[in-house]
Chain A
Amino acid sequence: GAVVSQHPSRVICKSGTSVKIECRSLDFQATTMFWYRQFPKQSLMLMATSNEGSKATYEQGVEKDKFLINHASLTLSTLTVTSAHPEDSSFYICSARAGTSRIEAEAFFGQGTRLTVV
């Protein structure tokens, strides 16, 4: 299957700083990437849909000024957590689907990033 690389896998940062997480599709072009967040013992919650060359679409309740998403190329999307606070500590994971409109096209996931804000 296709490969999506996400890094860093773990990051610890100080409160008030910003953290950038990268998601790359290594062997296919991803016109759309999705960013999810997982709280302990809960399901993956969609944060935003990242579209190459245009603004991301954020889910209700997700602050777009806090979680900056950039999808500048067909193989790279970044999520920047700005002015991080301890409540932003969570597991973040990206997924990408190939450039196809087939609704049944499978999504490929990165390995996830465990963010801890101290």
Chain B
Amino acid sequence: ILNVEQSPQSLHVQEGDSTNFTCSFPSSNFYALHWYRWETAKSPEALFVMTLNGDEKKKGRISATLNTKEGYSYLYIKGSQPEDSATYLCALSGSARQLTFGSGTQLTVLP
């Protein structure tokens, strides 16, 4: 059973602050790591899919890094805005293409 852990569980930041959170996973048998953003009452939305050690991906103010050797990924949000408030999920892709999810980091950006 793959164990994907995310920290912190929840986070409150002020508008304009930059923030980051962590996804940890077993480094053996790595296939791909996914980051999703999940707003209340909506479908989880894919942010990034990363496969290579050292990968860095960016979408607007959000970026992510990947270290497959030590088994972690960071998600960064620069200049947080209230609309960034959501639960951010990471998931490990398995050999059968199923996803194993972490429990998520719930971000609240205060105006």
Interface footprint category on A: 20 to 34
Q: Which residues of B contact A42 (CB under 8 A)?
A: 103
Tell me if B34 and A107 are in contact (CB < 8 A): yes
Tell me if B102 and A1 are in contact (CB < 8 A): no
Q: How far is the CA of A104 from the CA of B100 in the complex (A)?
A: 14
Q: How far is the CA of A56 from the CA of B65 in the complex (A)?
A: 34
Within 8 A of B (CB), among A81-118: 93, 95, 97, 103-112
- With contacts A4-B43, A43-B103, A49-B96 known, is A104 near B89, CB below 8 A? no
Tell me if A110 and B96 are in contact (CB < 8 A): no
Q: Which residues of B contact A109 (CB under 8 A)?
A: 36, 43-44
Q: Which residues of B contact A93 (CB under 8 A)?
A: 44
Q: How far is the CA of A64 from the CA of B88 in the complex (A)?
A: 30
A-B pairs under 8 A by CB, number: 58
Residue of B nearest to A48 (CB): B98
Q: How far is the CA of A95 from the CA of B43 in the complex (A)?
A: 10
Q: Which residues of B contact A107 (CB under 8 A)?
A: 34, 46, 99
Tell me if A46 and B100 are in contact (CB < 8 A): yes
- With contacts A110-B43, A111-B43 known, is A103 near B93, CB below 8 A? yes
- Mask for B71-111, Cβ within 8 A of A = 1, else 0? 00000000000000000010001011111111110000000
Q: How far is the CA of A10 from the CA of B50 in the complex (A)?
A: 33
Q: Is residue B7 contacting chain A, with contact meaning CB distance below 8 A?
A: no
Q: Is residue B59 contacting chain A, with contact meaning CB distance below 8 A?
A: no
Q: Which residues of B contact A49 (CB under 8 A)?
A: 96, 98
Tell me if A112 and B98 are in contact (CB < 8 A): no
Within 8 A of B (CB), among A9-58: 32, 34, 36, 41-46, 49, 57
Known: A4-B43, A44-B101, A103-B32. 14 other contacts (CB 8 A): A1-B45, A1-B46, A32-B97, A34-B99, A43-B89, A43-B102, A43-B104, A44-B99, A93-B44, A105-B49, A105-B97, A106-B46, A106-B49, A108-B43
8 A-B residue contacts at CB 8 Å?
A1-B45, A42-B103, A43-B101, A43-B103, A93-B44, A103-B51, A104-B49, A111-B43
Report B's interface with A, CB cutoff 8 A. Answer: 4, 31-32, 34, 36, 41-46, 49-51, 89, 93, 95-104
